[in-house]
A and B are shown apart, each in its own frame.
Chain A
Amino acid sequence: MNHHRAGRLLSAYVDSELTAAETRAVQEHLLDCAACRDAYENLRVARDLLAGLPPAEPPAAFWAAIRRPMMRPATAEGASGGWAGRMRAAWDSVVRLPWPGIAGRRPGLVLAGVLVALALAVLPLVKGTVDRLHATEIGVDLYVHDHAMQMGTAPLVDRAYVGLVAGDAELVLAGETPRPVGDIVR
């Protein structure tokens, strides 16, 4: 494989998106070509830099807004151009709160004042699908759940207790608040 072609394939090589034959050819070229090795390393590091970006954190008001999107009102069409303007008009017409000092501010902030308690940590599962980012937020509960379920394979383990433990773990896995610690009995 000539140097020029290898250079053009390096980007796809970094993503492991070449065919087996292309991959081998690029690898062989890399063995001989210091310049391409350097370029490859730069590509890889640059990609890592991007991959290392933390996810952008939406403001609290964002959740409130998308949870129950407001429909366009029958009347007012936002005079200010663009869909953003239309959205703002829609918010303004729906949200009528007599709070002073927030006129002209973005309507999302108004809602933030109203819906303070929206839990950002709720991660419900729908039909068994899980947001793939959230697996990193699951702590030990998944394994406690699995272990409790496996306890059923040992004879004479109390089923009601297994149901209690596994049930508690399922709540946490679904993103709900875990049960508080029990009261002292003795």
Chain B
Amino acid sequence: MRVAAKAMTAALVLLVAGAAIGAPFVPPAPPTQAAAVPPTPRAILKMALEAPRLIDYEGTKIITALRNGRMETVTVAESHKRPNLLRLEYLSPEDVAGRVIVDDGTTARHYEPALNMLFEDHSIQDGGAAAGLTLLTRNYDIVLLGTDEVIGRQAYVLSLTPHGTGVQRQLWVDRLTGTVLRAEDRDASRGLVLTTYFSRISFSLNLPEAYFRYRPPAGTRVVSLQTVAGGTQNPAQLQRQVGFPVLVPPALPEGYTFRGGAVSRFGSLVSAYLRYSDGGNIISFFEAPAGSIGWPTTGLPVRVQSQPGRFIDLGYFRVLIWEQRGLRITAVGTAPSETLMLVAGQLIAGREQVLVADVSRRTEADPATVRRLRSEGLTFPEIAKAFAISHALGTGIDTTVRFVHGSLSVTDLATQLKMRPDALRAAVRRAVDTASMTPALPASAPSGPPAGLPTP
């Protein structure tokens, strides 16, 4: 990887040092100007998120992903037309060749030629990319490593490293268009788990819209698989909808926060779905009545708090399954197995009332409020953090929760409180550090730093 010229290095060092949460936003240098000072990492990130709205492209992408213990290579022809038309045609290996996915931003249509089946599902493109940026910049170190050349084009190399447990990502962002030309995902325990890169790409401005419509041949079986819709409900609302208890994880790794829930329906199988995200990575929880879904035959039998469970390593994803109180709970995510086990252990220990009392006492909060926040999906460390900040800053608990959630950025809250963002940041850090944060963990879990699970 070629590092930029000496003059830029000095600037880079300065930028790296200052590439913390909420560094002042500098608009990206317009493509026609030769930038003497490279944009901030955050600016490059924004550029990458904006790119799909601004350009069309068509290229051949190579994906290498960890799957069932092996790296699998898949070739796909990817085309995109602004703002949100996507066409994916898989070319190899043989068993996926011919698969076509056409996505118009609302619906994804997936056609399998060998089976003459067409699956209709929700779009696989994210609706509002900007929504996650606050959390992402808060929970990840975003560093500009320099520039590199990819398929003859100049690209910024961005590194996103999670503070807690998650996926470490490296992105090669095209200088001219902001398109991600190459990406590498690394997992703490296994190293490289996913690489994607374009072996060729061309940016044209006039891909015909017809190219993004797919008409299956006559006699195709059409299958509607829209299992999970939306995702903005909290656990209390979900519980009312599904009619069985919805359990909220007591604690999760640092940075993960509840981002929404939904009901997942597949035929007669109804599950409650809770999504926790740190801005760049997701851990999902699916809860259904025990007995409504079978135990998979693959994977490793494990014991979670002396209850039987099953652990399945699918490569990029890991799955942990267990049962408690008549519920089947499935956790899916890219996280170390120990983390999933710890989270599951917390849930199974079932010390909800004890923890509510404990946190209420420590933070001098009203137990009813603590319980309400729990029913909205917050973990105990988040609740404790929210109360500590609320006490320190004098903000209402709901505003503080929105801030902790990432729905309210440092800049916005600072403006509301008429503080400078760095002053606010310092005050928050002080409040979180000085308050005694650790809710009582089960004896079997190792004690760790406050407000989160220990990073294995």
Q: Does chain A have a CB within 8 A of B129?
A: yes
The answer to whether A159 and B125 touch across the interface, beta carbons within 8 angstroms, is yes
Query: A144 contacts which of B48, B194, B294, B319 (Cβ < 8 Å)?
Result: B319
Give bound CA distance, A124 to B115, whole Å.
Answer: 11
- Whether, in the assembled complex, A163 has its beta carbon less than 8 Å from a beta carbon of chain B, the answer is yes
Which residues of chain A from 114 to 168 have a CB within 8 Å of any chain B CB?
Answer: 124-132, 134-140, 142-168
Q: A146-B228, A156-B171, A156-B180 are in contact. List 12 more A-B contacts (CB 8 A).
A: A124-B221, A125-B223, A130-B267, A136-B294, A139-B296, A153-B127, A153-B131, A153-B231, A153-B275, A162-B124, A164-B63, A186-B71
Tell me, rounded to whole Å, the shortest Cβ–Cβ distance linking B373 to chain A. Answer: 22
**Contacting pair A179 B126 (CB below 8 A):** no
B225 near A135: Cβ-Cβ < 8 Å: no
A174 is an interface residue with CB less than 8 A from chain B: yes
A156 touches B72 (CB 8 A): no
Q: Is the CB of A145 within 8 A of B227?
A: yes
Given A160-B61, A160-B78, CB of A139 within 8 Å of CB of B282: no
* A126 vs B90: C-alpha distance when bound (angstroms): 25
Interface residues of B in 238-296 (CB under 8 A from A): 259, 264, 266-269, 271, 273, 275, 277, 279-282, 284, 286, 291-296
CA separation between A140 and B124, bound complex, in Å?
20
Task: State A186–B298 Cα separation when bound (angstroms).
Answer: 25
Q: Give the residues in chain B near A157, CB-CB below 8 Å.
A: 126
B224 at the interface (CB under 8 A from A): yes
Name the residue on A nearest B128 (C-beta): A153
A182→B70 contact, CB < 8 A: yes
Quick check: B223 and A174 within 8 Å, CB to CB?
Answer: yes
Q: Known interface pairs A146-B284, A155-B280, A174-B117. Does A127 touch B224 (Cβ–Cβ under 8 Å)?
A: yes
B163: CB under 8 A from chain A? no
Known: A160-B61, A182-B67. A144 touches B183 (CB 8 A): no
Category for how many chain B residues contact A: 35 or more
Q: Which of B119, B221, B259 contacts A126 (CB 8 A)?
A: B221
Chain A residue total in the interface (Cβ 8 A)? 56
| Interface residue? A173 (CB, 8 A) | yes
Cβ contact within 8 Å between A183 and B70: yes
Partner of B132, one of A142, A155, A161: A155
Chain B at the A interface: SS class: strand
Check if A129 sits within 8 Å of B124, measured CB to CB.
no
- How many Å lie between the Cα of A157 and that of B291 in the bound state? 34
The reply to whether B294 and A138 form a contact with Cβ atoms under 8 Å apart is: yes
Q: Which of B70, B95, B269, B281 contacts A135 (CB 8 A)?
A: B269
Of B21-29, B309-317, B350-358, the stretch lying at the interface with chain A is B309-317
Given A144-B319, A154-B279, A163-B101 contact (CB < 8 Å): yes
Asked if A137 and B294 make an inter-chain contact with CB atoms under 8 angstroms apart, the answer reads yes
List of 8 A-B pairs having minimum Cβ-Cβ separation, nearest first: A182-B72, A130-B267, A139-B296, A128-B224, A135-B269, A132-B268, A147-B332, A147-B284
Task: List the interface of chain B (C-beta within 8 A of A).
Answer: 45, 48-49, 61, 63-65, 67-74, 76, 78, 86, 88, 90, 93, 95-96, 99, 101, 103, 108, 110, 112, 115, 117, 119, 121-127, 129, 131-133, 136, 169, 171, 180, 183, 194, 196, 221-228, 231, 259, 264, 266-269, 271, 273, 275, 277, 279-282, 284, 286, 291-299, 312, 314, 316-317, 319, 321, 330, 332-333
Given A136-B293, A150-B275, A156-B49: A181 and B72 interface contact (C-beta under 8 Å): yes
In the complex, chain B residues whose CB is within 8 Å of the CB of A161: 63, 65, 194, 196, 316
A/B interface sample: 8 pairs, CB < 8 A: A125-B225, A128-B225, A135-B269, A135-B293, A147-B284, A160-B196, A182-B72, A183-B93
CA distance A159 to B224 in the complex (A): 20
- Least CB distance from A33 to B in Å reads 30
CB contacts (< 8 Å) of B48 on chain A: these are 156
Checking B69, B96, B223, B281 against A179 with a beta-carbon cut-off of 8 angstroms, the contacting residue is B96
Interchain nearest-CB distance for A146 vs B (Å) = 5
A185: Cβ under 8 A from any B Cβ: yes
